[in-house]
C-alpha cells in the first residue's frame, strides 16, 4: 500500500465517510469543496493506501434478534505461540464473536460475543469455547445496557483545518461579530 501524506481535505473526506458511507461522490465533493473528479481520485487513493479498508452497513443487534451481549475473558493454560495461534484461529471462524483482543492483565483474551439468548451462549461456551485446546479459564460478564457505541474513529484534526473549534464547525471568537458591530 502506498504511503501518502494526508491533508485537511483527506481528513475531512475520511470523517464524512465514517459518518455516512452512502454519501454520493457529488455530495462528498461539495462538502469538502472539490469538484467530483478530484474528490473521487482522493477517495480511491485513500482506499488504495489502506486508510479506507471497507464499507459496511451497521445493523441494530436488538432488531435482528441478538439480545444478549457478553464480554468473555479467556485465560490460556500456557501463553506460548502455538497456543495463541490455535485459540485465535478457532475464534476467527465464529460469527458470534464480534471482537477479540489479546490483552495484558489478568486474562489473555477479551471477547465481545452477541447471541440471541442464554441457551445459545451456553452452547457457545460449553460446546465450543471450553473445548478449544489450551483454554484454561473462562469468565463472562453480561452487558446490561449499551451506554455508548461508536464505530467512527476519533480522527486527528489537521493543522490546516484551523483551531479545534473551527474544525468542529464552531467559529472562533475573533470571527464572531460583537455587540454594536454591524
pTM: 0.80
* CA atoms within 13 A of residue 116's CA, in its CB half-sphere: 5
Phi and psi (nearest 5°) for 178?
-100, 165
For the sheet containing 135-142, what is the strand order? 97-102, 109-115, 68-76, 135-142
Which three three-digit cell numbers place residue 165? Answer: 473549534
Question: What does the pLDDT profile of the chain (182 residues) look like in tens digits?
Answer: 557 899 999 999 999 999 999 999 999 999 999 999 999 999 999 999 999 999 999 999 999 999 999 999 999 999 999 999 999 999 999 999 999 999 999 999 999 999 999 999 999 999 999 999 999 999 999 999 999 999 999 998 765 444 333 333 333 333 334 444 44
SS3 178: coil
Amino acid at each position: 500500500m502506498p504511503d501518502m501524506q494526508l491533508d485537511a481535505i483527506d481528513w475531512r473526506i475520511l470523517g464524512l465517510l465514517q459518518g455516512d458511507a452512502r454519501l454520493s461522490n457529488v455530495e462528498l465533493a461539495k462538502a469538502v469543496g472539490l469538484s467530483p473528479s478530484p474528490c473521487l481520485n482522493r477517495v480511491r487513493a485513500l482506499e488504495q493506501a489502506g486508510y479506507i479498508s471497507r464499507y459496511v452497513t451497521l445493523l441494530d443487534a436488538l432488531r435482528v434478534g441478538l439480545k444478549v451481549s457478553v464480554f468473555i475473558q479467556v485465560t490460556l493454560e500456557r501463553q506460548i505461540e502455538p497456543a495463541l495461534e490455535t485459540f485465535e484461529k478457532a475464534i476467527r471462524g465464529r460469527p458470534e464473536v464480534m471482537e477479540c483482543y489479546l490483552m495484558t492483565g489478568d486474562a489473555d483474551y477479551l471477547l465481545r460475543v452477541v447471541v440471541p439468548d442464554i441457551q445459545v451462549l451456553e452452547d457457545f461456551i460449553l460446546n465450543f469455547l471450553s473445548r478449544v485446546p489450551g483454554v484454561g479459564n473462562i469468565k463472562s460478564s453480561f452487558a446490561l445496557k449499551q451506554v455508548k457505541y461508536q464505530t467512527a474513529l476519533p480522527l486527528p484534526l489537521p493543522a490546516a483545518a484551523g483551531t479545534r473549534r473551527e474544525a468542529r464547525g464552531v467559529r472562533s471568537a475573533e470571527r464572531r461579530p460583537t455587540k454594536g458591530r454591524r
